[in-house]
Structure 1
C-alpha cells in the first residue's frame, strides 16, 4: 500500500498515546546505545512492554519507527527553542544559532542521530507522510527563528536550501568528513540567503503559527 492509499488513522486514545510514547522512548534508547543496527523490532517491543504485533500496528517497519523517533526529537527541540528562543540581532544570525543548537543536541547522541538520518535516507514512498512531518517541523523551527508568520515563496525557497545544507552538513559530520567548526561555517554561510529575501518594507512580523512548505530535507 502506498502512502496515498493509506487511510487516515483515527486519533489515539490516552492509553494508545502512552503506549506510542513508550515505543518511541525504547527506540531512542536502543539507537542511542547501538545506532541503526541496534534497533530491532522485537527488542523495541520487549523494551516498551508491548506485543510485537502491537508494535507493527503502530509502526509498519523499522524505518517508519526511526523516522517517527526523529519527529519526536524535533518536537521536543521545537518546544525547547520556543521557551528559549535565539537572541541574534537579525534573522540570519537567529537561524544559524537555532540550527547549531539543534546540531549540538544531536551531537550529544551521535548514534541516535546516525540511526535517524539513515532511516530518512532509506525511506521509500510508504514513509512519505512521516518524512513530510519531519520536513514541516524543520521548516517551522527555521521560520520561528526568522520571525516569519507569512513567508513569501522566495523565503520558503531559501528555507529549503538552508534545510538541504543543514542535512548535508549533518551527514558529512556523522561520516567523519567535517568538523563542528566547518559545519558552523557552512550553516552561517547559507543562512545569509535570508538577507537576500528580506522584505524591503521593514522587519518581519513576530513569530507565530508558521506556514508550511512542501517536502524538503529535514533537520
Structure 2
C-alpha cells in the first residue's frame, strides 16, 4: 500500500520581494473566500488571483488549510498593527478590561465578513490538523504576545503563558459560537468580559 505523501514545510520569504508576494497571496485568498466561501476556493484560483505560479503558492502554503490558517494570522496581525498604540504594561490599570476589549474588537473585525470568518474557522478544526505542517504555539503568535504584554508581570512567567492560552482558547470558542449564531454577539461579548475577568484574577 502506498504511503501518503508527507506535507512539505512552508518556506519563509527571505527578501522584501518574496514577502510582498506572500502578502499578495494572503490578500487574494482573503478576497476569494470573502466572495465565494472556503469550499469554492481552489488553490489554483488563489494563485491566479495573486498572479503567481501554483508552485510558488505551494512553496509558501503547502496546503489549503495551512493557507487559511495563515490568512487568519495575517488578519490578526493587520488588526493589531492598525490599532492605536497599546499602553505600556505599567499603564494598564485593569488588564481584564484591556484584554476583553482587544478580543471583542478582534471578533468584530473578523465577523464583519461572514464567509471569510467561516473560511478561517473551518481551517482550524481538528480534521485539518494532520495536514498543517507545524504546530503553533499561540503564546508566541502576535495575539498571544499582545495579551501577555497586557497582563504584565502580575504573575510568574509560566502562569502568565497559561493565562494567555486560556484566554485565546476561550476567545476562539466564543468566536466560533458567535459565527455559527449559537450565541448572539451581545452574549459572546459578555462571556468574553467574564472570561477575561476570571482568567486574569490574582
TM-score, scaled relative to structure 2: 0.83
Please tell me whether residue 113 in structure 1 is matched to residue 106 in structure 2: no
Task: Judge conservation of contact 2:12–2:60 (CA < 8 Å) in 1.
Answer: no
- Counterpart position of 1:38: 40
Task: Judge conservation of contact 2:29–2:46 (CA < 8 Å) in 1.
Answer: yes
Please give the alpha-carbon distance, in whole angstroms, between the structure 2 residues aligned to 1:144 and 1:81: 15
What secondary structure, in the 3-state scheme, does the structure 1 residue paired with 2:148 have? helix
Task: Judge conservation of contact 2:28–2:46 (CA < 8 Å) in 1.
Answer: yes
Please give the alpha-carbon distance, in whole angstroms, between the structure 1 residues aligned to 2:174 and 2:79: 18
How far off its partner does 1:16 sit? Answer: 1.6
Gapped runs of 5+ residues in structure 2?
Answer: none
Please tell me whether residue 177 in structure 1 is matched to residue 179 in structure 2: no
How far off its partner does 1:147 sit? Answer: 3.6
- Counterpart position of 2:99: 95
- Counterpart position of 1:73: 75
Task: Judge conservation of contact 1:110–1:174 (CA < 8 Å) in 2.
Answer: yes
- Counterpart position of 1:154: 159
What secondary structure, in the 3-state scheme, does the structure 1 residue paired with 2:189 have? helix
Aligned length: 195
Task: Judge conservation of contact 1:67–1:131 (CA < 8 Å) in 2.
Answer: no
Q: Could you say what the CA RMSD is over the residues aligned between the two structures, in angstroms?
A: 2.8
Gapped runs of 5+ residues in structure 1?
Answer: 198-219
How far off its partner does 1:192 sit? Answer: 1.3
TM-score, scaled relative to structure 1: 0.77
